[in-house]
Amino acid sequence: MAKKDSPNRFKKGQTKHNVRYDPDARFEVVVLLYLKKGKRHDIHDVDNRLKDILDALQGRFGGPKSVRAKYRLIENDRQVSRVVIEKQPIPKSLSDDAGGRLLIRIYEPRRWPLQRTKGDQFRKRRKLR
């Protein structure tokens, strides 16, 4: 399916499932990219693909940033507080045009393994006497 068809698909899905959110809501975006094995898989950087996806969610599909589609799934990508993205070769059970999977959900803060908290492993350890 072409990029330009995505806003209509987003809107239909949102309407069908009665999805509504506060315009100031914060989101988590989870992306699984399926790419053909070999050069196509190896040359695509996840950070560049993520930028394309976030732009599309805001109604930008190529061209200048001032030109937007009438429909946006997310008003502004600064509403996205967490992103998880992974690229994988296309599974054999899927067709060659299987682009991947996208999940958008309301952001829920949680403690991460690298987050500093009282008693964590990153604090200076006391010397034993």
Q: Which of 30, 23, 5 is nearest to 75 (CA)?
A: 23
Between CA 23 and CA 43 the distance in angstroms is 36
Quick: pLDDT tens for 4-19.
Answer: 566 677 677 778 877 7
Q: How confident is the model at residue 120 (pLDDT cuts 50, 70, 90)?
A: low
Using CA atoms in the order 94, 100, 101, 107, what is the torsion angle rounded to 10 degrees?
Answer: 160
Long-range contacts of 9-16, Cβ-Cβ distance < 8 Å, separation of 24 or more:
10/57, 10/71, 10/73, 11/71, 14/73
Quick: pLDDT tens for 51-82.
Answer: 989 988 888 876 666 666 667 888 889 999 99
